[in-house]
Amino acid sequence: MGIFDLFKKKPEAKQRPLFYDIVCPYCFSKFTPEDVVFRAAHSREDDEDYALGEDEELNKYRERFGLDSVHDMEAVLRPQDVPEEHRIYSDHVLIGINDRYGELTRRRLCPRCHNELPVTAGKVPSNIISIIGASQVGKSVYMTALIHTLQNTTANHFDAACMPLNAEISRKFRTNYEEPLFERGDLLASTQKEKMQEPFIFQFVFKDVTKPPLTLVFFDVAGEGMVEQDYLGLHGQHIKNSAGILLMVDPLQIRSIREKIRMNLGDKPGEWVSQYDEPRDVVLTMFGDFIAYQENNKTDIPTAVVLTKSDMLHSLKDEDGEYIKSNSNIFNNIVHRNFFNLTEFENIDGEIRRFIEKVDRPFKGTMDVYFKDTAYYAVSALGSNPVDQKLQTVVSPIRVDEPFIWLLYKLNYIEGRRE
């Protein structure tokens, strides 16, 4: 595909369907709006169908993520159990039911995990973006810097707001991620494999009501799980039902440059890990699960390959540009406002493609074989390399929101223009 094919005028928008399939942002099951179940709005001691009790499906889900069981929940009601005239629709989507006592409930639940669904589910496409990558690539740190940047600057540049799905997610994100990193300069601990994190769910909501919100799901999977088949089964679902993917790659995963960076950094190497998964292994394991079943063994989910910790690449730059030129785009923060800047995109994408081709051809080859639609980026979530788990300077992210803005462009939320 030539460079100009990338930017051909997009085909006319298809006619809007009556409703959209729902992808649950908690367990990533896919179903139609008719399949939802409801949480009753009240309870009764004189009717066992409406008595408070344990919700086994919800607790099974919570247990997987090490969350406490919840007891004394209101009953789960099936729409099929109430007469047709007691079901309430909006825009052809089932949004509420009147139960046998005439009480209205609009609390729609996922039929599989019984978590409450976003209000817009079924009325707009379930566009979910997933962040994935191997152990130690800095997914948690990247997620924190990305959400912080989206909330504080990027959303404003696109007439939007970035908000957590509920108050609990908001509190956890602030306490466990944002405050330690941005206020105290503490590096976040690596996610433990035994301790699966429940998804962090945010919505990118546009002020223009004709644009559906975009759901951002950060499934902070412990990275080492990403190369283990059984662990992956739990997460293959969320990759398969994503509208876009951010695939994180740490330059230190690439053996040929790991040693070179180590030599060039001398006695101040910052954080190093003895064991890294090769980027190609991560891709083969993650995508062997579902790409093999796609047409032509390729996925057309737009995937941004995000080279993390780009500040470490300073030690590789030189005038000849054997790896990276001294005046490289990688080190300049770029702000996209109101539209996606295609000129900047071509520059960074071309440069990182060439870099990856040079330092890890097997990985680049695997990406070319399995993915139809990719873009390559380099980001620094922190702006500098920490020493002893502590930042030496204030957090100043570089280009962290760019891969996300590319996905906004690919999913037709924003337009792309040249400078």
User: Are 227 and 314 members of one domain?
Assistant: yes
The reported pLDDT for the residue numbered 18 is 84
Domain match, 274 and 409 both: yes
Is there a single domain that holds both residue 63 and residue 136? no
Q: Among 77, 109, 141, which residue terminates a domain?
A: 109
**Inter-axis angle of helices 342-359 and 361-370, to 10 degrees?**
120
Tell me if 408 is assigned to some domain.
yes
123 within 8 A of 36, measured Cβ to Cβ = no
Cα distances from 151 to residues 80, 93, 155, 218, in angstroms, run: 41, 30, 6, 15
pLDDT for 137-180, tens place per residue? 677 888 889 999 999 999 999 999 999 988 988 998 899 888 88
Q: Are residues 87 and 176 in the same domain?
A: no
State the residue range of the domain holding 180: 128-417
13 lies in a domain? no
Question: Does any domain span residue 15?
Answer: no
Residues 192 and 84 in one domain: no
Cβ burial of 31 (10 Å; 0-12, 13-18, 19+) is: middle
pLDDT in tens, 48-92: 999 999 999 999 988 877 788 998 999 999 999 999 999 999 989
What pLDDT score does 226 carry? 47
Please tell me the predicted confidence (pLDDT) of residue 11.
46
pLDDT of amino acid 163 = 92
Alpha-carbon radius of gyration of the chain = 23
The CATH number of the domain holding residue 309 is 3.40.50.300
Say if residue 164 is in the same domain as residue 104.
no
Least confident of 33-47, 124-138, 337-351: 124-138
Asked if residue 253 and residue 135 are part of one domain, the reply reads: yes
Q: Is residue 101 located within the same domain as residue 144?
A: no
- Total domains in the fold of the chain: 2
- Is residue 162 within 8 A of residue 155, CB to CB? The reply is yes
Tell me: do 190 and 280 sit in the same domain: yes
Whether residue 14 is contained in a domain is answered as no
Together in a domain, 102 and 152: no
